[in-house]
Amino acid sequence: MNESKRKYDVVIIGSGPAGLTAGIYAVRAGLKAVVASGDQPGGQLTITAVVENYPGFPNGIGGIKLMMDMQKQVENLGGEIKQGIVKKILKIQKNFGVKLKNNGILETKTVIVATGSKARWLGIEKEKELIGRGVSGCATCDGMFFGDKVVAVTGGGNTACEEAVFLSRFAKKVYLIHRRNELRATKIEQKRVFENKKIEVVWSTEVKELLGDEKLEKIKIVNNKTGKERIIEIDGLFVAIGSDPATKFLTGLVEMEKTGHIKVGVDKKYSTMTSVDGIFGAGDCVNNAYKQGIVAAGMGCKAALDMERWLKE
């Protein structure tokens, strides 16, 4: 069928916990729904080796497994999952046209934006060129390639600590480089780092230069208190310094916060409605405070319920 002929009650953009939960609720409400999976199907939880804080899994569950099960739940209920990256949202009379990268258009009465966030990079010279050649943003994806090697993780939050611990399964040495003098991660994640003999925490330090042509060979780090420089020979650098909302495609369409997060609750009646009637937001692309899978799932539920109520009016 021609993409432009497909009409839906709701197109959900993003297939992380927020998007898939919205899909579950939309389909259960009897609505014709499609989830556009985006460039990272399953969202950021797919780069988490083990999710320990999602209720119902006393022994934890693999991030990929959790998201595959959520997707299967949407499909089993009759929802549609479409592989595709959304370029923009168009206004088509009273409806919307969700334009995909392949130029297909999904026509819909409403849209739920649940695009989450994208990993933030260091922004230093050679970084982009060395991605896949020693530089990575995903330990779960690439850790196995660094067996008995020396690697570094830069960051100080939960993700950085989780990645350092995960990499210690393969690497013989892991440097955890943090620009502050204390970690921001939860106490349990910090404990795992400090108790791991393979991990060395390098405090008050930033990565300033990547050295190597065909592949990463060394990094230059600088202590931001003393100014002292040091060069470390490593095989891999994993960047875990946070994320930014994946909302650029919405620029000029809906109101956004200064951080790039979508502003919702403009209409007090619908806490997840954006500044444009019929477009709702959920998950990390909206919320800058919690950044938790279960919070995103709850927001996806709220967005679907708001959308259903709005359609009935």
Catalytic residue among 9, 39, 69, 138: 138
Dihedral sign from CA coordinates of 63, 154, 199, 234:
positive
Residue from 39, 69, 141, 213 carrying the catalytic annotation: 141
Is-catalytic flag, 161? no
Half-sphere exposure of 119 (CA within 13 A, CB side): 23
HEC string of 43-104 equals HHHHHCCCECCCCCCCCCECHHHHHHHHHHHHHHCCCEEECCCEEEEEEECCEEEEEECCCC
The DSSP secondary-structure symbol of 282 reads: -
d(CA 133, CA 149): 14
Helices (H) and strands (E) in the chain, counts: 6, 17
Angle at 253 between CA 98 and CA 44, to 5 degrees: 65
- Looking at 9, 142, 235, 306, which residue is catalytic? 142
CA–CA separation, 287 vs 88, rounded Å?
A: 21
Residue 304 in contact with residue 26, Cβ under 8 Å?
Answer: yes
- Please classify residue 20 by burial: count the beta carbons closer than 10 Å to its beta carbon, then call 0-12 exposed, 13-18 middle and 19+ buried: buried
Q: Among this protein's residues, is 244 annotated catalytic?
A: no
- 138 catalytic residue (yes or no): yes
Q: Supply the residues annotated as catalytic.
A: 138, 141-142
